[in-house]
Every structure is written in C-alpha cells, then in structure tokens.
C-alpha cells in the first residue's frame, strides 16, 4: 500500500509582509511631506516620478521610518543568511506613480534586502508584481494556453497581496519586480535598500558600508 504523495517546495524564496508596520501619523506625515515636494522630483516617465536618494536629515519622518524598518531587516536577513546580523538601510527614495504610470521590470543592484512601504491606497491593478528572471538560456519550453492551471511551480510571476497604507514588504534585492499601469489615484511608496555590515564564510569576511 502506497502513501499519499508528498510535494515539497525546494529552496523557496522568502517574501515578508508586515501589515501596519508604519503607524498612521507617520504615513500621513510622509505623504504630505513628499506630495509637497512632488514638483521638484525627477520625471523618469510621463507618470512616474521619484525623489533622489533621501538622507535621514531630509526629514525627521525618515528617521522614524528607518527606526521602524531596521528590526524587520534583521528578522528577514536571518531567513536569507541564517543569522541575525546588523543591517543598515543604505538608500531610501519615494516613488510617485500617477494615473497611467507604471514601473518597468527591474531589480536592485548592490543591495541584499529591498523593501517597499505603501503610503497611499493602491489600486488592485497596480499591486507590485514579482517575476522570475528572464532566462539566459538559449532554448526554453513552455506549456502555455487557456487550459493550463497556474500554480507555484509553473508560474512566472506573482502578484503581491493587496497592500494598505502603512504596510511594508521585504524581498531579496535580486528578485525582479514591476508595477503594472496604475488606473487609480496617485500611488506613493517609500522604497529602500539594505545591506548587512558583514558576511562571514568560514572566516573569509566581506564587509559593506552604505
Ligand atoms: Fe524596485
């Protein structure tokens, strides 16, 4: 008599979602601060603008946000590296995605943990989408048609859960992600990159500084 087949997801990728990570007064403060600065932002596409890299000295609100985010980095980093390491927020910036705006697929270089704090309501169509890296192989085979059932082992992209203002998501910086065209109101997010102070491979250490 045979047992029930067991399916084991090999080598899963962590993705952490922290609901209500930033409290309402902080979120409201960040929205009004960066909405006021919107006209000085860099326009990288018609409907997407982003700030230059922010420094904590730009606003005490950023210091408060960084203080809330840093302990989460240690928890998430323990999943990636098996140890609660000291982590530093390396960069923070704000994205303003107006109606019709989108963010093309990208990942974040020179960083280990990346994250997004959602500051305004997000239209369900413009939730952040995560995808497998476009392959570097010469040939690929696909079974792709209306009858295909998509699951965790054959999906190529994953639409992240509907966020609320104040929610934060963390993911490994190498993961490709994008934001589909926003049919809704202006969508404001605070994005960030983080690095551990050091990684140690049996005494061979490599250090990072922001
Ligand atoms: Fe990004």
pLDDT of residue 155: 92
What mean pLDDT do residues 116-141 have? 90
Output the CA 203–ligand 1 centroid distance in Å: 33
Ligand 1 midpoint to CA 179 (Å): 9
Ligand 1 center–CA 106 separation, angstroms: 6
Position 32 scores a pLDDT of: 92
Q: Using the predicted structure, report yes or no on whether residue 125 has a pLDDT greater than 90.
A: yes
CA of 107 relative to ligand 1 center, distance in Å: 6
| Ligand 1 mean position, distance from CA 75 (Å) | 20
Percent of the chain surpassing pLDDT 90: 79
More reliable by pLDDT, 133 or 40: 133
Read off the pLDDT of residues 170-189 as tens digits, 9 standing for 90 and up.
Answer: 999 999 999 999 999 999 99
Q: How far is CA 75 from CA 121, 161, 191, 208, in A?
A: 26, 20, 18, 19
Distance 153 CA to ligand 1 centre (A): 24
Q: Please identify which residue in the block is written with the tokens 């840093």.
A: 70
For the stretch 77-117, pLDDT in tens is 999 999 999 999 999 999 999 999 999 999 999 999 999 99
Query: How does the average pLDDT of the chain come out, rounded?
Result: 92
**Closest C-alpha among 193, 207, 198, 190 to residue 26:** 190
Is residue 148's pLDDT more than 70? yes
Distance 140 CA to ligand 1 centre (A): 27
Q: How many angstroms separate the alpha carbon of residue 114 from the centre of ligand 1?
A: 8
Which residue has better confidence, 141 or 168?
Answer: 168
Cα of 55 vs centre of ligand 1, distance in Å, is 18
Going along the chain from its start, the domains and CATH numbers come out as 16-132+150-197 (2.60.120.620)
pLDDT tens-digit readout, 41-85 = 555 566 888 877 887 778 899 999 999 999 999 999 999 999 999
Distance from residue 108's CA to the centre of ligand 1 (Å): 6
- How many angstroms separate the CA atoms of 182 and 56, rounded? 29
Cβ atoms 190, 21 nearer than 8 A: no
pLDDT band at residue 39 using 50, 70 and 90 as cut-offs? low
Q: Report whether pLDDT(40) > 70.
A: no
Dump the DSSP string for the chain: ----------SPPP-EEETT-S-HHHHHHHHHHHHHTGGGSEEEETTEEEPPPP-GGG-HHHHHHHHHHHHHHHHHHHHHHSS---EEEEEEEEEEE-TT--EEEE--TT-SEEEEEE-S---GGGS-EEEPPPP-SS------STTPPP-TTT-SEEEPPPP-TT-EEEEETTSEEEE----SS-EEEEEEEEEESEEEETTEEEE---
Beta strands across the sheet bearing 176-179: 103-106, 176-179, 129-131, 157-159
What span, in angstroms and rounded, lies between the C-alpha atoms of 51 and 33? 12
Q: What was the pLDDT predicted at 209?
A: 85
How far, in Å, is the centroid of ligand 1 from the Cα of 201? 28
**Greatest CA separation found in the chain?**
70
């Amino acid at each position: 008599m045979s047992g029930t087949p067991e399916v084991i997801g090999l080598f899963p990728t962590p993705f952490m979602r922290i609901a209500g990570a930033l409290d309402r007064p902080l979120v409201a403060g960040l929205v009004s601060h960066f909405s006021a600065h919107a006209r000085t932002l860099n326009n990288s596409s018609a409907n997407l603008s982003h700030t230059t890299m922010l420094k904590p000295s730009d606003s005490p609100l950023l210091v408060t946000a960084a203080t809330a985010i840093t302990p989460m980095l240690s928890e998430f980093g323990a999943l990636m590296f098996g140890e609660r390491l000291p982590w530093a927020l390396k960069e923070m910036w704000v994205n303003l995605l107006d109606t019709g705006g989108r963010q093309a697929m990208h990942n974040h270089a020179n960083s280990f943990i990346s994250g997004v704090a959602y500051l305004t309501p997000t239209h369900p169509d413009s939730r952040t989408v995560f995808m497998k890296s476009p392959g570097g192989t010469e040939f690929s085979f696909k079974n792709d048609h209306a009858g295909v059932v998509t699951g965790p082992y054959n999906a190529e992209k994953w639409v992240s859960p509907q966020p609320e203002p104040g929610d934060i998501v963390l993911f490994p910086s190498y993961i490709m992600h994008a934001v589909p065209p926003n049919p809704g109101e202006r969508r404001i997010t605070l994005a960030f990159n983080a690095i551990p102070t050091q990684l140690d491979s049996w005494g061979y250490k490599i250090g990072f500084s922001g």
